[in-house]
């Protein structure tokens, strides 16, 4: 004869939420021009929420919000957000990363690097409107 014992464990929900630690990612840089670029951030887990998010950047590695930052001001309909960084110097290497600030401080995403495009000079020519012979040219003829 075989006797089996079955144990039951019960889980109770006491109305508490499980929140992941806040985490942020910097996913890519897009539309790089001579004076601007768009940086894309991604909120992996919001934790207790953020009061501000955006992108910080610098010409040195590991930028922080103490350097230059651009605050995201669009509607948050998804975890992804894009920020256009403007006023950049041409042909310069930049370091950027997404940031988010909440009740527990500021967290940062991974660092991305990009170089702004050089400014290409534009040459224009006008139509010839008159031809003149200079006196020095007449003497040589």
Checking if the pLDDT of 53 tops 80, the result is: yes
Question: pTM surpassing 0.85?
Answer: no
Q: Which residue has the higher pLDDT, 133 or 25?
A: 25
Higher per-residue pLDDT: 43 or 129:
43
- Cβ density class 66-89: b for 16+ within 10 Å, e for less: eebbbebeeeeeeeebbbebeebe
Max avg pLDDT among 33-37, 42-46, 130-134: 33-37
Question: Could you give the percent of the chain with pLDDT greater than 90?
Answer: 49
Give 50's contacts (C-beta < 8 A, 6+ positions apart).
22, 43, 100, 101, 102
CB atoms near residue 62 (< 10 Å) = 11
Q: What single DSSP character describes residue 89? A: P
> Could you give all domains of the chain from N- to C-terminal order, each with its CATH number?
23-115 (2.60.40.10)
Residue 87's nearest CA partner among 35, 30, 34 is 35
C-alpha span between 107 and 123 (Å, rounded)? 47
Burial class (CB in 10 A: 0-12, 13-18, 19+), 43: buried
Model confidence at 131: pLDDT above 70: yes
pLDDT above 60: residue 33: yes
């Amino acid at each position: 004869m075989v006797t089996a014992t079955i144990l039951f464990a019960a889980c109770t929900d006491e109305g508490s939420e499980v929140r992941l630690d806040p985490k942020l990612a910097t996913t890519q840089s897009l539309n790089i021009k001579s004076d601007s670029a768009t940086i894309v951030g991604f909120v992996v887990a919001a934790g207790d929420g953020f009061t501000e998010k955006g992108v910080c950047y610098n010409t040195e590695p590991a930028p922080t919000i103490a350097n230059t930052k651009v605050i995201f001001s669009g509607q948050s309909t998804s975890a992804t957000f894009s920020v256009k960084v403007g006023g950049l110097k041409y042909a310069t290497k930049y370091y950027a990363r997404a940031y988010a600030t909440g009740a527990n401080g500021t967290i940062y995403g991974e660092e991305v690097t990009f170089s702004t495009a050089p400014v290409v000079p534009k040459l224009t020519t006008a139509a010839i409107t008159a031809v003149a012979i200079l006196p020095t040219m007449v003497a040589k003829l």
